[in-house]
Structure 1
Amino acid sequence: MDVQGLLTRCVDDAAIVLGVLAGHDPKDSTTVQDPVKPFMLPSLTNVSKLCIGIPKEYLVLELSSEEQSLWSKVADLFESEGTKVTEVSFSHITYSIVCYHLLCISEAASSIARFDGLQYGHRCDIDVSTEATDIATR
């Protein structure tokens, strides 16, 4: 496969995935209900103006020889078409999973906070304090 075909396939696949994920999800109350227009991505015919960065943190010993070979083949394919391929570094990539976990927990907590029993279901009429109301309601 030539670099143009590879790039076109990757971009088309990404557009398909984005089209599937975009828009309202009736089983997720946090999604936006605005209508989504189909994604129209421009075709890229000249890849010589591109600069592609390959994160060195992704090229780890745990990658199989086949995966490492594919990284090299794709990089060589782009370079042969005039694309600048360079190694980049994401120095804080080790924190990404921790940050993701923290954000997921926070999002879940904020999403389910409205189901705390105060707004929906039984609510006690004790008016002494917010704390007393919460304790009596739950």
Structure 2
Amino acid sequence: MKENSISISVLSIIFGLSGCVTTENGVAISADHSRALSGERTKMGQSYNLNEDCTAATIANIKLVEAPAHGSVEFVKENIYSNYKDGIRIKCNSRKSLGVSEYYTSNSGYSGRDMYKVRVSYGEGTIKDVTVNINVIKN
């Protein structure tokens, strides 16, 4: 298949996404508001970039720009379910494809607000900066 004939769709899902703004340099900026139980590993989101046949076109490169003050973040390459809303790739939602999941774990016993920032890129020009705001709740 010719490189220029491949149709690629990029999607970065962050649970609770509250909006996205694109800056002058083309970087999309968004913020997420989530909850997690104190000390419990919690999935904050996932990123994927699938071809029309549901195989991974590229794997997201996620860099931690600002670490959380009261916990840690882990990025795991794993098979995940996509969440396309429409288009030809909606069929991919019923089967797992390779992507990157984002997990947050607060320090044990901590409760209150925490946050971290990530930069997500896909190697094909899409770049997103995401601020994740977390309300950590005691068990």
Which one scores higher on RCO, CA 8 angstroms, separation ≥ 6? 2
More strand by share: 2
The structure having more radius of gyration, on CA atoms, is: 1
For the criterion TM > 0.5, the same-fold answer is no
More helix by share: 1
- TM-score calculated relative to the size of structure 2: 0.19
